[in-house]
Amino acid sequence: MKPLSEQCSEHQKKSAGEMQSEETRTAPGNGVTVSTDPTRENPAQQNGVVSSHDVISPVSQTRTEPQPPSSAPAPPAQPPRDQWGGKYEFLLSCIGYCVGLGNVWRFPYLCYRNGGGVFLIPYFIMLFFTGMPLFLMELSLGQYGAAGPITVWKCCPLLKGIGIGMLCVSILVCLYYNVIIAWTFYYLGSSFQSPLPWSCDALHNIPLCRNKTNVTQSPSEVFWNEKVLGVVYSKGLHDPGPVRWPLALCLLAAWVVIFLCMLKGIRSSGKVVYVTATFPYFVLLVLIIRGATLEGSLNGVAFYLTPNWAHLANAQVWNDAASQIFYSLGIGVGGLLSMASYNKFDNNVIRDTLIITIGNCGTSFFAGFAIFSILGHMAWRKGVPVGQVADSGPGLAFVAYPEALALLPGSVFWSILFFLMLFMLGVDTLFGNMEGICTAVMDEFPQLRSNLKHKTLFLALLCFAFYLMGLLLITDGGIYWFTLIDSFSTSFGLIIITLFMCIGISFFYGVNQFCQDIVDMICHCPPWCTKLLFYFKACWVVFTPFLLTFILTYIFIEMYRTSLHYGTYVYPTWGKALGVCMGAFCCLQILIWAIVAVSKESGTLRDRFQKSIRPLNSWRVNNINTTTQDQHVEPQRVDGPFTVNLTEADFTSMNWEAISEA
């Protein structure tokens, strides 16, 4: 690979849309020769070849006549694509998307369960060899193609199913993720009561707290299981029971908030993230400072970070590290790809990748101090080891931590602050997932983007459909369905999707071409970008596929050996099979749409395959001369005896030269 500065200078000498170096091209079946003149200022693109407007027609050997202007009307212009208001909007949106609930309620638990500080070793190895390369791949693909997770696969039509699979995963994630925000709304509203309804100071909890000899559940567990979930009234997955209407109102409010924030696309959500992406950091800092002043907090921090080197030999530790990287960075869901598609073409994706991924992992580590310092105080107050009060997932966010906050002076204030933080974390992540769905649909149906009324109606129907489907998850047995979707929506199906994305870009599209595309976008990047590209290239070709295969193998082994359970409830075989079908449906889209792409081509099977992995003619079209907006002309297709893509200038001032055939 040449130095980046040399590649940029060479690239600037060539036309941005040029894919072949031909002097002439003969249109099939017409005997018409299209001449390419590099001195022309506004070349028209013909099937991927940049050519001038000169057309030599063999009408006569002795006489040439000027051709009349075409009477064909100009095709309707494509609606303009929005762009971020500034680079900080994109960075904050990605940070808000990545820094979610998993950083607060999952990473600290995994850290202490898998050897404390030792867990950071496999965690950062997985970050540098799987998370960061795949993150850069998604950002680069979306930014270069200026398209969502489905349309962007014009670069390799055989892999269009990857985009469909991403869309399916994103739908499943949105379906259950907003239920978490509904729970947060419920707790936020309950936090305005004094005393807190899950504390021992509440009148209805006094008998429970005084009876310390025969206590099976704490007040916070009773509030969570009976008042919020109603899970005690359900027998299992087969018995969902009635909808819990207080939660239904909270879920409706959550979807109304998402609808209003996304009404104008990135122009509205890009402004919201200035608050939602920064507020959680303020709350975490306040909680760390408050936790450091509490008795027993150092015991909690020591429990969080004390290393146990024997855990490094356990494959479960490495699998947990990889799953946390995928869970927190949001890889393979389509949100990153969609948000990057609204970037300017020359945005430095390598710099953004380093900032976002390292910032996300640093936030996870930072959040652990806020969690375990207060849990350490709770363990000290109860006189029990920290391990007995530590939990993961909803159990940490809605049982253990609220109970710890209830023990603090001014518990109402701290509870409001904590659940506001959870709300901001959840909303930001849902923005990214919803943006992936909306961008994918609007790229396939561009008229939705140009008509605000139609776009608003589509977004309203989408949010309402999610609300109706989400009602199943807020019934008495809804937590069983929630756990099922949560366990399988981002399991083996997501790993298979990212594995095929990595292999497809590296070996079908071409890793050298992909690296060149990145160079084309970041010509003004410092020299260290070139060195990093060598590293990322090695990851895409060797290390990342190998580690993804290892993770996938381990997931299948564990899925076969272990049963799915929530608390003491063990899922039936048909329930686990349903979850496997959900994951399989997402990744089977790759095979289905690959068959469709091959069947559309002609020739032998080998020819069909080779044609289906070639980029379409419209690939890279949106990025011609994007560094200067006034030079950018969107090509249009005109149906004629042979296919010619004409620019807008050809329709407004078309003057054909009379040229004699030599």
**Known binding site: residues?**
96, 99, 103, 328, 360, 425, 428
**What backbone torsions phi and psi does residue 57 show, to the nearest 5 degrees?**
-110, 125
**What backbone torsions phi and psi does residue 224 show, to the nearest 5 degrees?**
-70, -50
Q: C-alpha distances in angstroms, 219 versus 163, 261, 382, 523?
A: 45, 36, 14, 60
Nearby residues of 395 by Cβ (< 8 Å), 6 or more positions away? none
Distance CA 502, CA 140 (A): 13
Quick one: CA dihedral 456, 457, 458, 464, positive or negative?
A: positive
Task: Give the start-end residues of each E strand in 274-396.
Answer: none
Burial (CB count within 10 angstroms: exposed 0-12, middle 13-18, buried 19+), residue 241: middle
C-alpha dihedral, 499 to 500 to 505 to 511, nearest 10°: 50
Closest C-alpha among 368, 421, 374 to residue 401: 374
Nearby residues of 524 by Cβ (< 8 Å), 6 or more positions away? 8, 346, 348
Which parts of 76-212 fold into alpha helices (H)? Answer: 87-98, 101-105, 107-113, 120-126, 132-145, 160-190, 206-210
Distance CA 60, CA 68 (A): 16
Closest C-alpha among 404, 396, 427 to residue 93: 427
The full length of the chain comes to 662
Closest C-alpha among 81, 4, 620 to residue 343: 81
Given a contact cutoff of 8 angstroms between Cβ atoms, the answer to whether 613 and 625 are in contact is no
Q: Tell me, what DSSP letter sits at residue 505?
A: I
Tokens of 4: 């980046």
- In the chain, the largest separation of any two C-alpha atoms, in whole Å, equals 111
H or E element, residue 638: strand 636-638
Given a contact cutoff of 8 angstroms between Cβ atoms, the answer to whether 337 and 411 are in contact is no
CA angle 500, 337, 48 (to 5 degrees): 80
Q: Which residues are annotated as a binding site for Na(+)?
A: 96, 99, 103, 328, 360, 425, 428
- Peptide bond before 195: cis, by omega within 30 degrees of 0? yes
Q: C-alpha distances in angstroms, 135 versus 148, 544, 660?
A: 15, 12, 55
Tokens of 572: 């039936």
